[in-house]
Amino acid sequence: MKEQTLHAAEAGSPPGGLREGVRRAFLRHEWLRAYTLVSPTLILLIVAMAAPIGVLVGLSLWTQSGMEFDRTLTLANYETFFGKKIYPLVLWRSIQISALVAFATVLLAYPLAYFIAFHVQRHKMVWLILITLPFWTSYLLRVFAWKLILGYNGVVNSGLTTLGLIEQPLEFILYNVTAVVITLAHAWAAFAILPIYVSLEKIDRSLIDAAHDLGEGPVMTFLRVTLPLSMPGVIAATLLVFIPTVGDYVTPKLVGGTTGIMIGNLIQSAFGRGANWPMGAAIAVISMLMVTLAVCVFLGGVKGLKKLLA
């Protein structure tokens, strides 16, 4: 209070007083500097994130009647969602697929991140840039590439046929969940490698020496020291892959077939061909809540696991 009156007094003083007051307030209050620093981002987040989500929630409470919105607030769309089996089923499957994708991606990314962090001595930057190399082409192009690789007459099938290992092309590798998982895992690999790499790179090497010194071989040292200390990276990687893939609709549409359909496809069709925006909004809101719930369950599980191991 005292400082405020002080600044107010200064504001009324001769030219330069206001500027001086602001300057002093800046030097004195750490939080003021901090908020000034984040304010562009904060404004963008409010305008571009919070507002649309508010609109989405509002929209989900309306209903579609013909070409018009019926603006009476109702939970009818949510009743429809849980009334029809297809919606919860597809949502549940999307979460499962994404969990599987996240798991597979982290599992494949970890050794690579470990290799770069611990065994690459020079030119680490080159390795890290190479990892982002797939991102230099369009996402769509990469999905199509997988279609070519996994397709009926694709690289895998024709290769195996030529080698004489199979007589008929394998059909179970495209247009199903497997294809979706493979494609997504590849597409999101860099998002898993980088956070894991950072957390591994941060580990003090003397801790690993210490574990060896205290009698633990390479495997137990990894399990008792390296892995727990890299958990922040693993968690970040899992979330970075899991959360965006739940809503993905391009990959399931192109390589998922009928069994690989995901919640994003349902949202897209509600907004598109289905022309039922309130229903689409409701699906989006529910899937958002479910992803949040899944993340909470995951983080709770990690915490429990930590306690169990300690």
Partner 1 sequence: MPDEAFISILDVSKHFGPVKAVDRVSINIAQGEFFALLGPSGCGKTTLLRMLAGFEAPTLGEIYIDDQPTASMPPYQRPVNMVFQNYAIFPHLNVYQNIAFGLRKEKLSRSDLDARVNEALALIKLEGYGTRGANELSGGQRQRVALARALIKRPKVLLLDEPLGALDKKLREQMQIELRQLQKSVGITFVFVTHDQEEALTMSDRIAVMSEGHVLEIGSPEGLYERPRTRFVADFIGTMNFFEGRVRAREGGKIAVDAERVGEVQVPADDYDFNAGDTVVVALRPENIRMRPGRPDLTANMAHGTMSNAAYLGDRAHIYVQTEGSEQPILVAMQNLDGAASSATHGERSVALQWSEQAVLLLRPE
Question: For binding to partner 1 (CB under 8 A), which residues are involved?
Answer: 204, 206-207, 209-217, 220-221, 224-225, 228-229, 310
Partnered with residue 70 across adjacent β-strands are 63
Encoding tokens for residue 51?
């507002």
Nearest-approach distance from CB 204 to partner 1, in angstroms = 7
Rank residues 195 and 264 by Cβ distance to partner 1 and give the closer one.
195
Rank residues 68 and 213 by Cβ distance to partner 1 and give the closer one.
213
Nearest-approach distance from CB 279 to partner 1, in angstroms = 47
Rank residues 208 and 285 by Cβ distance to partner 1 and give the closer one.
208
Rank residues 201 and 216 by Cβ distance to partner 1 and give the closer one.
216
Nearest-approach distance from CB 226 to partner 1, in angstroms = 11
Q: What are phi and psi of 48, to 5 degrees?
A: -95, -10
Task: Provide the angle, in degrees to the nearest 10, between the axes of the packed helices 277-309 and 86-114.
Answer: 50
Nearest-approach distance from CB 217 to partner 1, in angstroms = 5
Rank residues 182 and 234 by Cβ distance to partner 1 and give the closer one.
234
- Count the Cβ atoms, other than its own, within 10 Å of residue 105: 27
Nearest-approach distance from CB 227 to partner 1, in angstroms = 10
Nearest-approach distance from CB 199 to partner 1, in angstroms = 12
Rank residues 118 and 271 by Cβ distance to partner 1 and give the closer one.
118
Which residues fall within 8 angstroms of residue 155, CB to CB, at 6 or more apart?
Answer: 148, 149
User: Which residue is associated with the tokens 């499962």?
Assistant: 96
Rank residues 29 and 306 by Cβ distance to partner 1 and give the closer one.
306
Nearest-approach distance from CB 208 to partner 1, in angstroms = 9
Residue 190 gets the label, from left (phi > 0), alpha (psi -120 to 50) or beta, of: alpha
